């Protein structure tokens, strides 16, 4: 107790280790002392517990785990790419692909295999069972250690697998209802993907179209779940990737540009939003023409932004252009017409010209 500082996590982990082995507690303490090295350059600092106790007990357990169950050791490393709460089988199964490593395919080949691997981590007191949600969780300090120590260099394969897990848990038909509570569960894992460590470890030049598509969906989910800062980070990264892969004038690039503009509106960053909408509009007019529905949508968005900025003259002109264009393209009773008329009437109200409205 005294040597382990009486810290609950250290004591539990040490107890789990001893339960799995025939060594005595005295032998464990000797190994503990031999394994401990004070390193002033450690990047990770845990605020709740002393570094020595936790690092040493967990490192000892991990070394044993690598020998006893290598798949479980790999699984522990992978969990750094997910939130530390609410890990369930279907979440991990959704990301499985032909390029997944053998150990992962073996661990998640079915729920029985997954539960077996996770049970090993439970036995070592590195993860906990959450019976009410039928999932697993990890103490935040253990989670920090797994990222800071076991993933000093984050393997890109693990990161993209985790991203695929999130993306494949999104129904593309739900693109406009991702704000609903049912998507909150997966949104926490999406948020983890924006951790600054992961942002540093992927080169934009090497991103595939599939990866960029997945990043875009993660950004959309985060935006609708009102994780605005994380969504902005993912959108900016996605936009840079599309610019490199497809060029700044490609329609997919402009779509991300406009999504980022809408996010800036939600954040109240109206100057940044205006810049994104204006860029999208100029390029869409070149690529699609002035009367294309997508171009008119951007015109409408820009007009609505001008209302928010109090630029009523610009707003009236821009919204009138959107309304006239919609009437030519989609007909007079389409919902886009209704929305454009409503926004234009707001401008007339603010200008005190209700007779025009």
Q: Would you state the pLDDT for residue 58? A: 83
Q: Give domain status of residue 263, yes or no.
A: no
Q: Token digits for 135? A: 């999932």
Q: Give domain status of residue 251, yes or no.
A: no
First to last CA, the chain: 78
Q: Would you state the pLDDT for residue 204? A: 52
Q: Give domain status of residue 161, yes or no.
A: no
* Low pLDDT (below 70) residues in the chain: 1-23, 25, 27-54, 200-205, 333, 354-357
Q: Would you state the pLDDT for residue 191? A: 97
Q: Give domain status of residue 132, yes or no.
A: yes
Total structural domains within the chain: 1
pTM of the full predicted structure?
Answer: 0.82
Q: Would you state the pLDDT for residue 203? A: 57
- Asked whether 217 and 170 are in contact (CB, 8 A), the reply is yes
Structural domain range at position 138? 1-152
Q: What share of the chain is helix, strand, coil (3-state, %, to 5)?
A: 70, 0, 30
Q: Give domain status of residue 3, yes or no.
A: yes
Q: Would you state the pLDDT for residue 13? A: 65
Eight-state DSSP code of residue 6: T
Q: Give domain status of residue 66, yes or no.
A: yes
Q: Give domain status of residue 19, yes or no.
A: yes
Q: Would you state the pLDDT for residue 14? A: 62
Q: Give domain status of residue 10, yes or no.
A: yes
């Amino acid at each position: 107790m005294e040597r382990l500082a009486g810290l609950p996590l250290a004591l539990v982990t040490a107890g789990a280790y001893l339960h799995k082995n025939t060594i005595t507690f005295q032998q464990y303490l000797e190994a503990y002392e031999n394994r401990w090295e004070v390193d002033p350059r450690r990047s990770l600092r845990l605020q709740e517990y002393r570094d020595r106790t936790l690092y040493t007990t967990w490192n000892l357990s991990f070394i044993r785990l690598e020998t006893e169950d290598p798949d479980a050791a790999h699984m522990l490393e992978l969990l750094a790419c997910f939130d530390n709460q609410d890990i369930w089988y279907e979440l991990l199964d959704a990301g499985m692909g032909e390029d997944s490593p053998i150990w992962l395919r073996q661990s998640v080949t079915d729920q029985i295999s997954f539960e077996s691997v996770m049970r090993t981590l439970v036995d070592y007191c590195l993860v906990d069972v959450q019976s009410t949600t039928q999932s697993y969780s990890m103490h935040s300090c253990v989670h920090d250690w797994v990222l800071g120590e076991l993933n000093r260099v984050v393997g890109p394969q693990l990161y993209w697998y985790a991203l695929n897990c999130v993306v494949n848990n999104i129904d593309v038909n739900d693109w406009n209802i991702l704000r609903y509570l049912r998507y909150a569960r997966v949104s926490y894992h999406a948020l983890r993907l924006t951790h600054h460590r992961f942002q540093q470890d992927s080169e934009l030049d090497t991103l595939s179209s599939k990866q960029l598509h997945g990043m875009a969906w993660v950004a959309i989910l985060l935006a609708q779940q009102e994780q605005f800062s994380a969504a902005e980070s993912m959108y900016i990264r996605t936009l840079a990737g599309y610019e490199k892969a497809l060029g700044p004038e490609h329609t997919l690039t402009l779509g991300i540009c406009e999504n980022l503009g809408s996010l800036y509106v939600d954040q109240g960053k109206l100057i940044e939003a205006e810049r994104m909408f204006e860029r999208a509009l100029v390029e869409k007019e070149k690529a699609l023409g002035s009367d294309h529905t997508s171009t008119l949508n951007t015109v409408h968005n820009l007009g609505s932004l001008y209302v928010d900025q109090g630029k009523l003259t610009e707003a009236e002109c821009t919204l009138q252009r959107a309304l006239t264009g919609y009437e030519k393209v989609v007909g007079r009773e389409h919902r886009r017409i209704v929305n454009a008329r409503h926004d234009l009437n707001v401008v007339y109200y603010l200008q005190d010209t209700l007779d025009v409205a």
